[in-house]
Amino acid sequence: MEKTEQRRHPRLACRAPVQYRDLRQPQASYAGTLTDDVSVGGLRFHTAEWLPLQHRLLVQLALPGIPAPIRTVAQVIWTRKQPHSDRYDVGARFVEMTTEDLGAVADYVERGARRLS
């Protein structure tokens, strides 16, 4: 059976630094990792901790060529344990982002897609 693509937005494979923390715990420290890919709709990254579905995160994303970090609230839409590892892959959807940051992400993905074509 062939898997059907469910994403609304094209994604760009990239290894960009990302920091996140639980939105409900303002005193919590940020955890840091790298993205696997990013789109205007969200991002995928690895983490050592299991993050529950619907969990909201405060995210700071440092995309190459963009001077200021992208700040957003993202919601966990899936979490998968990596085979033979204690780490997890996480997919998160952007739910709150400024128009300026959304435009910066869109430009970054578009420039990356042009380089690949």
- C-alpha–C-alpha distance, residues 79 and 53, integer Å: 7
Give yes or no for a contact between 23 and 40, defined as CB atoms under 8 angstroms apart. no
DSSP state of 83: T
The pLDDT, as a whole number, for residue 96 is 96
Domain count, the chain: 1
pLDDT band at 9 (very low <50, low <70, confident <90, very high): confident
Domain limits at 83? 18-116
pLDDT band at 117 (very low <50, low <70, confident <90, very high): low
* pLDDT tens, residue by residue, 30-89: 999 999 999 999 999 999 999 999 999 999 999 999 999 999 999 999 999 999 999 999
The pLDDT, as a whole number, for residue 1 is 44
Question: Is 13 a domain residue?
Answer: no
Question: Is 5 a domain residue?
Answer: no
Q: Is the pLDDT of residue 106 over 80?
A: yes
Please state, as a whole number, how many other Cβ atoms lie within 10 Å of the Cβ of residue 52. Answer: 7
Give yes or no for a contact between 107 and 65, defined as CB atoms under 8 angstroms apart. no
pLDDT band at 116 (very low <50, low <70, confident <90, very high): low
- Retrieve residue 46's tokens: 């690895």
CATH number of 71's domain = 2.40.10.220
pTM recorded for the entire structure: 0.86
Nearest to 57 by CA among 87, 16, 97, 8: 97
Question: Is 86 a domain residue?
Answer: yes
Question: Is 10 a domain residue?
Answer: no
pLDDT band at 2 (very low <50, low <70, confident <90, very high): very low
Question: Is 11 a domain residue?
Answer: no
The pLDDT, as a whole number, for residue 6 is 53
